[in-house]
């Protein structure tokens, strides 16, 4: 057991976590943030993708199923529930507008991976989108619409920046 | 004598025809024919639950948490065959916070596709043997690892070849092939036709075991209150799941409530109560606490069903002009330890006009996980053999593959000699080939291969497909107008990600004259909703849609009667559109009253409409059709196949929501690409263990594999099928992809690759074999 302080969606949390406990388990089972999904539990599908900024480090997308909670002391975590901060994030709007959703199980992970891409590369071309999201599986096969949605979101964000 | 109230009708479910007795609906709305002026149906209404899904608020089964809930983990066999001699749970039970175990003695009579739950007779690797539950999943997993299982191993047969070998170990007491198999179906005289034909081609094709690989694993949460149990399950059929659980636990249907709100994909693997649900219910009963049981990924891959592998020996015989004289198939179909027989032979009887057709099919049982329905079961496998053989025949005849298919166009249902309700495959050929810019080819050697000698070679291929997706009864719906004029559509169906929530609301809005923004669909709850069947066989829209329409028409009649009383205008002069009732009566023309205003007037006097799905037309074949066109590039040095573009033209009658429907086409095509190029469960023959039960080793398509897809529907409305004119569409796009791609690969490299997936090594082996025989 170790005591960690993690900021999750802008709320500071102090938690005693077991050494083996994953960030995904903490988010889902302890904090009730079930938007991050477990599909493979071993970093193969991307459904559990969240944003993690370790203390003093930049924000990056991580597979929360492969991230140990004990290693997150001092980190900031953003999940799908915290992405829009009260309103829909442009990516969420674009996923709705482009219907980049079927069953929706992979969707939170897709959006978090795409948000990380757009933070790094605000106007990605299609190869960049394909590369950034190729670690997020969608068995329903909504890929064509996911590409459209990411492009749409990039435009929305560009317009908002003016 | 009064007309009969209950009549017999036939319904095709997953390629099997079933006869049902059904109550005739009290009235039948006029069909929405092709030219009907519709406001909401046919529009790209945004998916109604998209916001819940993009915000992470959609609650799937594994997201359900109940107070005091325990977590179950399953102990599984690590050998393919043998028997359990002892299970020692003492160490597991000694672990703090372990709350219970479930053994064979606790689950007498609980059956699933693999047989009796926790059967000590082991028939496949991964077979559930026991379950443990604890206060956390981590502890449950540790406890499961501490269960000591002693097993006496027995020889196994994990492949078709091994199971058919002389003295093969028996998978079932009665042997390794289906009862009365080979199942032979013949029309005409195939042997005589082959004898006298101008051209005969013979080929052997092989297709792999494909895994559903749903993103949401099988899982359930069960909670008992008194003598009734509530189960949140990831299922394609809440009522089927309820019936299974009631039977397994000796309960009345009224004691079991199954809820499915959001669902993370099923594709055929979730058609009844799962093992997870049975275990959750049993452990919840035993421990007195709610229990969650969710499969881990490995179990999801090897123990939730799969598409049967097949071996298909195909003979096609034709006249010089391409007219088919005979079609013959001999097939072996790998069942695993159970499931049902999804016949690859059916499409051989259905697809083309041909007087002489014979299929001889053998179900082969193996010591591997049971098969299950998987998106167009049987047809996906059969289409690969039939459609590749059609291309082989076209080459032999020196005929264009598309011209050969047109030449053998079936104007009637060949298998049962009855008319089609509607068939627009010719339109699919026309429009698909036009959009694809199909280049007709003739004499052998005139394919793409002859013109190319570089490392990267391009080729084009096509395929035809058909699938019975007419839906049918029983299905019921209630439409309720609330006091504020908003509308609830209640139907006990489920939305697997297909868009049923949205599509049913559109149908109700259209029929009622309500604005779509005021309509919502409530589904997935056996306790609160009228019956609808499983969401399988591409049936939901064509089964539940007409029931919803009828319920909405019924509500509309009552609403207009109420408006008539309020407005003083006869109901026959009233019209409803966009949630407003308008008068057409001379003198009162243009007077309006909104649904909300009517509701306010009525208060809680509720308008409720009831609807049900009527019978299907007698002696009529209700089918959907399509044509696929693929262009590929083959790297002849590495053997890698890239799909460059795919054009898919489909005929599914009226399309209620084109955007949602086209998304399903794209998804089906992507699963087809996986089947053609990557997906194959590999079992170690000597150990009988699955070697790739992960999403890393079992390759499903990723965004990086996405080709340019152009998929669309030809316009139509099949009002013979049902009064909405809509047919199913989820499964058809999965059928034509693999043969179109394989035919394109052959066009590119001049060599047939007869086994899928078309992995680099298979392509290289085929090239090598061809170059050896050329030397």
Note whether B127 and B49 are same-domain residues.
no
What is the spatial distance between Cα B515 and Cα B510, in angstroms, rounded to a whole number?
A: 8
For chain A, percent helix, then strand, then coil, each to nearest 5?
A: 40, 20, 40
Extract the tokens encoding B505.
């609301």
Show the low-confidence residues of chain B (pLDDT under 70): 1-2, 114, 443-451
Q: Does residue B302 sit within a domain?
A: no
Question: Across residues A45-60, what is the average pLDDT?
Answer: 95
Note whether B501 and B586 are same-domain residues.
yes
Which chain B residue has its CA at the smallest distance from A38's CA? B216
What is the spatial distance between Cα A16 and Cα B589, in angstroms, rounded to a whole number?
A: 72
Note whether B259 and B347 are same-domain residues.
no
| Contacts across the A-B interface (CB distance below 8 Å) | 171
Best interface-test mutation with B: which of A22, A40, A141, A150 has the largest number of B CBs within 10 A?
A: A141
Chain B residues with CB under 8 Å of A106 CB are 215
* Interchain contact, A144 vs B709, CB within 8 Å: yes
Q: Does residue B339 sit within a domain?
A: yes
Residue B713, domain extent: 310-470+619-774
Nearest to B461 by CA among B407, B391, B396: B391
> Given this model, what pLDDT does residue A131 score?
96
CA atoms within 13 A on the CB side of B555: 36
Q: What is the ipTM of this complex?
A: 0.98
Extract the tokens encoding B209.
């075991």
Q: Which of B294, B329, B348 is the last residue of a domain?
A: B294
Burial B104-132 (b: 16+ CB within 10 A, else e): bebbeebebbbeebbbbebbbbbbbbbbb
* CB of B625 closer than 8 Å to CB of B728: no
Output the CA–CA distances (angstroms, integers) from residue A75 to A50, A51, A70, in the order listed: 12, 10, 10
Note whether B355 and B403 are same-domain residues.
yes
Q: The CATH number of the domain where B316 resides is what?
A: 3.30.365.10
* Interchain contact, A139 vs B297, CB within 8 Å: no
Extract the tokens encoding B468.
């019975």
CATH architecture of A2-83: Roll (3.10)
Note whether B334 and B379 are same-domain residues.
yes
What is the spatial distance between Cα A71 and Cα A5, in angstroms, rounded to a whole number?
A: 10
Residues 91-110 of A with CB under 8 A from B: 91-92, 95-97, 99, 101-108
Q: Check if A52 contacts B (Cβ < 8 Å).
A: no
Domain count, chain B: 3
Note whether B460 and B475 are same-domain residues.
no
CATH classification for the domain delimited by A90-161, as one of 1.10.1740.10, 1.10.150.120, 3.30.565.10, 1.10.10.520: 1.10.150.120
Q: Does residue B540 sit within a domain?
A: yes
* Interchain contact, B497 vs A38, CB within 8 Å: no
> Given this model, what pLDDT does residue B341 score?
96
Q: Does residue B711 sit within a domain?
A: yes
**Residue B746 to chain A, least CA–CA distance (Å):** 26
Model pLDDT for residues A16-44, shown as the tens digit of each residue: 999 999 999 999 999 999 999 999 999 99
Q: Check if A18 contacts B (Cβ < 8 Å).
A: yes
Q: Which DSSP state fits A68?
A: B
CATH 3.10.20.30-classified regions of chain A = 2-83
Q: Is B731 a catalytic residue?
A: yes
Nearest beta carbon to residue A103 from set B59, B136, B263: B263
Nearest to B283 by CA among B217, B221, B234, B238: B221
Note whether B550 and B516 are same-domain residues.
yes
> Given this model, what pLDDT does residue B1 score?
44
Residues 198-217 of B with CB under 8 A from A: 212-217
> Given this model, what pLDDT does residue B2 score?
54
Nearest beta carbon to residue A105 from set B46, B65, B216: B216
Note whether B466 and B477 are same-domain residues.
no
Note whether B645 and B749 are same-domain residues.
yes
Extract the tokens encoding B592.
């309006």
Strands (E), B404-508: 456-467, 476-481, 487-490
Q: Check if B54 contacts A (Cβ < 8 Å).
A: yes
Q: Check if B50 contacts A (Cβ < 8 Å).
A: yes
Nearest beta carbon to residue A134 from set B46, B136, B703: B703
Q: Does residue B165 sit within a domain?
A: no
Q: Which of B232, B264, B294 is the last residue of a domain?
A: B294
Q: Show Cβ contacts of residue B337 under 8 Å, excluding neighbours closer than 6 positions.
A: B113, B114, B115, B123, B124, B171, B172, B365, B366, B367, B368, B369, B370
Note whether B27 and B75 are same-domain residues.
no
Q: Does residue B209 sit within a domain?
A: no
Note whether B235 and B146 are same-domain residues.
yes
The region that residue B568 occupies, defined by phi over 0 for left and psi between -120 and 50 for alpha, beta otherwise, is left
**Residue A57 to chain B, least CA–CA distance (Å):** 26
Locate tokens 């429907």: which residue?
Answer: B661
CATH 1.10.150.120-classified regions of chain A = 90-161
Q: Does residue B50 sit within a domain?
A: yes
Q: Does residue B518 sit within a domain?
A: yes
Output the CA–CA distances (angstroms, integers) from residue B528 to B7, B114, B256, B262, in the order listed: 27, 32, 12, 16
Extract the tokens encoding B399.
């005929």
Note whether B711 and B570 are same-domain residues.
no
């Amino acid at each position: 057991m170790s005591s960690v302080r993690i900021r999750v969606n802008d709320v500071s949390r102090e938690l005693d976590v077991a050494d083996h406990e994953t960030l995904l388990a903490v988010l889902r089972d302890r904090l009730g943030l079930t938007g991050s999904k477990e599909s493979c539990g071993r970093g193969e599908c991307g459904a559990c993708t969240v944003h993690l900024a370790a203390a003093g480090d930049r924000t990056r997308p991580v597979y929360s199923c492969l991230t140990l909670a004990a290693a997150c002391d001092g980190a900031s975590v953003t999940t799908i529930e915290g992405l829009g901060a009260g309103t829909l994030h442009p990516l969420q709007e674009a996923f709705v507008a482009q219907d980049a959703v079927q069953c929706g199980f992979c969707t939170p992970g897709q959006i978090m991976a795409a948000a990380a891409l757009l933070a790094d590369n605000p106007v990605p071309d299609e190869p960049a989108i394909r590369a950034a999201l190729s670690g997020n599986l969608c068995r329903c096969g909504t890929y064509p619409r996911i590409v459209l949605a990411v492009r749409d979101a990039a435009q929305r964000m560009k317009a908002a920046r003016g | 004598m009064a007309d009969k109230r209950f009549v017999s009708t036939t319904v095709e479910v997953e390629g099997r025809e079933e006869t049902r007795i059904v109550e005739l609906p009290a009235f039948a709305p006029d069909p929405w024919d092709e030219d009907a002026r519709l406001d909401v149906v046919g529009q790209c209404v945004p998916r109604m639950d998209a916001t819940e899904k993009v915000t992470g608020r959609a609650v799937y089964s594994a997201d359900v948490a109940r107070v005091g809930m325990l977590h179950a983990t399953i102990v599984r066999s690590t050998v393919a065959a043998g028997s359990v001699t002892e299970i020692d749970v003492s160490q597991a039970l000694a672990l703090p916070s372990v709350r219970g175990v479930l053994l064979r003695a606790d689950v007498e009579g609980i059956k699933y596709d693999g047989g009796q739950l926790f059967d000590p007779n082991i028939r496949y690797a991964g077979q559930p043997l026991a379950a443990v539950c604890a206060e956390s999943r981590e502890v449950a997993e540790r406890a499961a690892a501490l269960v000591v299982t002693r097993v006496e191993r027995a020889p196994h047969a994990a492949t078709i070849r091994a199971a058919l070998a002389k003295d093969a170990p028996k998978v079932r007491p009665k042997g390794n092939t289906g009862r009365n198999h080979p199942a032979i179906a013949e029309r005409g005289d195939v042997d005589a036709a082959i004898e006298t034909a101008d051209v005969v081609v013979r080929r052997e094709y092989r297709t792999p075991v494909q895994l559903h690989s749903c993103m949401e694993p099988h899982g359930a949460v069960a909670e008992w209150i008194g003598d009734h149990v509530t189960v949140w399950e990831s299922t394609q059929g809440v009522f089927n799941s309820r019936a299974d659980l009631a039977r397994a636990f000796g309960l009345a249907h009224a004691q079991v409530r199954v809820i499915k709100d959001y669902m993370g994909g099923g594709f055929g693997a979730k058609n009844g109560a799962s093992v997870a649900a049975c275990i959750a219910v049993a452990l919840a009963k035993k421990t007195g606490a709610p229990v969650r049981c969710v499969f881990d990924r490995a179990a999801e891959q090897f123990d939730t069903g799969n598409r049967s592998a097949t071996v298909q020996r195909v003979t096609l015989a034709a006249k010089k002009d391409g007219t088919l004289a005979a079609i013959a198939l001999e097939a072996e179909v790998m069942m695993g330890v159970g499931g049902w027989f999804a016949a690859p032979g059916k499409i051989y009887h259905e697809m083309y006009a041909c007087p002489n057709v014979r299929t001889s099919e053998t179900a082969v049982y193996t010591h591997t996980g049971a098969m299950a329905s998987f998106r167009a079961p049987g047809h996906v496998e059969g289409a690969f053999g039939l459609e590749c053989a059609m291309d082989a025949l076209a080459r032999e005849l020196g005929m264009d593959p598309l011209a050969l298919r047109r030449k053998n166009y079936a104007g009637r249902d060949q298998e049962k000699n009855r008319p089609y309700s509607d068939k627009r495959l010719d339109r699919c050929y026309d429009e698909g080939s036009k959009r694809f810019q199909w280049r007709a080819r003739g004499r052998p050697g005139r394919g793409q291969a002859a013109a190319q000698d570089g490392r990267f070679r391009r080729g084009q291929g096509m395929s035809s497909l058909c699938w019975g997706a007419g839906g049918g009864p029983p299905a019921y719906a209630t439409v309720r107008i609330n006091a504020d004029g908003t509308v609830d559509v209640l139907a006990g169906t489920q939305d697997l990600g297909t868009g049923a929530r949205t599509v049913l609301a559109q149908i109700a809005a259209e029929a009622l004259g309500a604005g779509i923004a005021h309509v919502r669909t409530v589904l997935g709850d056996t306790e609160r909703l009228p019956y609808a069947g499983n969401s399988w066989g591409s049936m939901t829209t064509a089964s539940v849609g007409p029931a919803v329409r009828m319920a909405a028409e019924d509500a509309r009649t009552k609403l207009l009667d109420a408006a008539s009383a309020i407005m003083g205008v006869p109901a026959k002069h009233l019209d409803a559109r966009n949630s407003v009732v308008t008068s057409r009566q001379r003198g009162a023309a243009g007077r309006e009253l909104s649904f909300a205003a009517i509701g306010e007037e009525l208060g809680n006097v509720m308008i409720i409409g009831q609807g049900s799905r009527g019978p299907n037309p007698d002696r009529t074949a209700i089918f959907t059709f399509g044509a696929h066109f693929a262009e590929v590039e083959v790297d002849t040095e590495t053997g890698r196949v890239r799909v460059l573009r795919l054009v898919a033209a489909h005929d599914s009658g009226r399309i209620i929501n084109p955007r949602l429907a086209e998304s399903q086409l794209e998804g089906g095509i992507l699963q087809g690409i996986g089947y053609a190029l990557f997906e194959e469960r590999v079992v170690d023959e000597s150990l009988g263990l699955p070697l790739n039960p992960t999403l890393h080793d079992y390759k499903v398509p990723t965004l990086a594999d996405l080709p340019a897809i152009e998929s669309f529907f030809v316009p139509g409305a099949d009002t013979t099928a049902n009064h909405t004119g809509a047919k199913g569409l989820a499964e058809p796009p999965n059928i034509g992809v693999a043969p179109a791609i394989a035919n394109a690969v052959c066009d590119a490299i001049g060599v047939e690759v007869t086994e899928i997936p078309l992995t680099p090594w298979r392509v290289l082996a085929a090239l090598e074999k061809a170059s050896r025989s050329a030397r």
